[in-house]
Amino acid sequence: MDVAIFTVRQQQLSVLLVQRPNTPDEPFPGLWALPGGFVDIDRDRDLEACALRKLRDKTAVTSPYLEQLGSWGSKDRDPRGWSTTHAYFALIPDAGTPEAGANAADAAWNPITGNGVTVKLAFDHREILETAIDRLRSKVEYTSLPVYLLPTEFTMTELQRMFEIVLGREVEKSAFRTRVFSADFIEPVPRMREGQQRPAQLYRLQRSSGVVFFPRTFSPRGHR
């Protein structure tokens, strides 16, 4: 099991990495890797429960957006021999920092640049991460996924900003709002965001809403 856990922090799409033990009897000592490890057959009911446990260990987040990413398996990916992994990807709000986790001394957020990170990754994790970034970016073109990168309550400007950060480009404000409201997956709460700017309506995900698929992708400039 390996989990690519994404959040947006400091206005950058970031992935959680863990440092491997620096002992010569472990493969890739000291390198960074996606959080993961073996299924615990006494504790994990199924693969999803295993992925949630790996995530909880590092972030204290218990209800992320979680999706199966794929399988990697070959005789070469681990120097110890033939191995396979079931990879997942997760989206969490920035509040789920590694520091909040129970076992997170070795974990750190790394900003995504291009299709990966600047540090060298263990195993085939560069390829798994690249696949996760591709999947995330392509889904953000036509789904409501970025809402899972936000805290429970957010303004429309904050939601738009999440789409823009993951897409890596600006979208046009009025077309964005039309699209979001017609997709009907968020609802206003009876509170405003107060601050230095004028108060802004707060929204939350509708309780019954799963991931919403938009009828079309964003055009390059966000026009419909």
For binding to its own copies (CB under 8 A), which residues are involved?
A: 39, 41, 44-47, 50, 68, 70-76, 81-82, 84, 86
In angstroms, what is the minimal distance from the CB of 45 to its own copies? 6
Beta-carbon-side half-sphere exposure of residue 62 (alpha carbons within 13 Å): 1
In angstroms, what is the minimal distance from the CB of 183 to its own copies? 18
In angstroms, what is the minimal distance from the CB of 165 to its own copies? 26
Which residue, 45 or 198, has its beta carbon nearer to its own copies? 45
Which residue, 49 or 189, has its beta carbon nearer to its own copies? 49
Residues 6+ apart with CB under 8 A from 79: 27
Specify whether the CB–CB gap between 45 and 56 falls below 8 A.
Answer: no
Which residue, 15 or 50, has its beta carbon nearer to its own copies? 50
In angstroms, what is the minimal distance from the CB of 8 to its own copies? 27
